[in-house]
Structure 1
């Protein structure tokens, strides 16, 4: 069986901002952004101007991985969680330090500073300004 999986991040009206942030922080490439307003309208359920601007689906290519994004539908409950983390495995320590710093910028929080561990020459955890936690882990040789 061949199977590919990727993280799909949900935001409450901040998906476009998140895509731009991760594009810069992770050196990604935006493959596409579709808003709810890009879809054909339904006269029985008209969208507000804010809803039309929200991201229905966004895709960012980061290395070989795809990150996908969406905003919640207006009025739907939104609760950021800490049950899923994204692990990033740069090959070089310099790259790991740059990614870690970029994710921690603008309101991020270092959970575990970058440091040598038993399994890695450089490992740390950082929660970004959107509440998403990343593990940055340089693979041991």
Structure 2
């Protein structure tokens, strides 16, 4: 069974600034930054120009470790100090479902497991201790 995990920082509109701050402070290297505007447009959920500029996902490599980030979506609750989540990356969808169900027991589903543009199976769950986990089965990586 193969799985990795990493911290995932959720910020309210300051992710881009934070990524470059931590890159310099920790001697890391920015792997990539994707904005909400980079995603395919959905006419049922139009985005403001400000929202399109917000960071949907950023990846900073620090040594052998991965640090990931995202800005909140407007309207999502944001509590300063409650900004670190744990991202889990099981390779198998069956294992992802097992982990999600175990974390959901006594907790709360924030986003049900579902197919996304970046993953065959992704979801967010807050466990009974108030810790938020993102469960993400890695999708196929684009060929370079």
Q: Report matched runs for 1:102-117 at 5 Å.
A: none
Give TM-score, length-normalised by structure 2: 0.55
Does residue 45 (structure 1) correspond to residue 45 (structure 2)? The answer is: yes
Does residue 59 (structure 1) correspond to residue 43 (structure 2)? The answer is: no
Which one has the bigger strand percentage? Answer: 2
Cα 1:82/1:13, change in 2 over 3 Å: closer
SS in 2 for 1:6: strand
Q: CA deviation at 1:29?
A: 0.4
Unaligned runs of 5+ in 1: 85-141
Question: Residue 11 of structure 1 corresponds to which residue in structure 2?
Answer: 11
Question: Residue 28 of structure 1 corresponds to which residue in structure 2?
Answer: 28
Q: CA deviation at 1:74?
A: 1.0
**CA separation in 2, counterparts of 1:31 and 1:43?**
30
Give TM-score, length-normalised by structure 1: 0.56
Question: Larger Cα Rg: Structure 1 or Structure 2?
Answer: 1
Cα deviation digits, residues 4-46 of structure 1 (max 9, x gap): 2110000000010100000000000000000000001111211
Question: Residue 109 of structure 2 corresponds to which residue in structure 1?
Answer: none
Higher mean Cα deviation, 75-84 or 31-40? 75-84
**CA separation in 2, counterparts of 1:41 and 1:82?**
29
Q: CA deviation at 1:82?
A: 6.1
Q: CA deviation at 1:3?
A: 3.0
Unaligned runs of 5+ in 2: 85-144
Aligned residues: 85
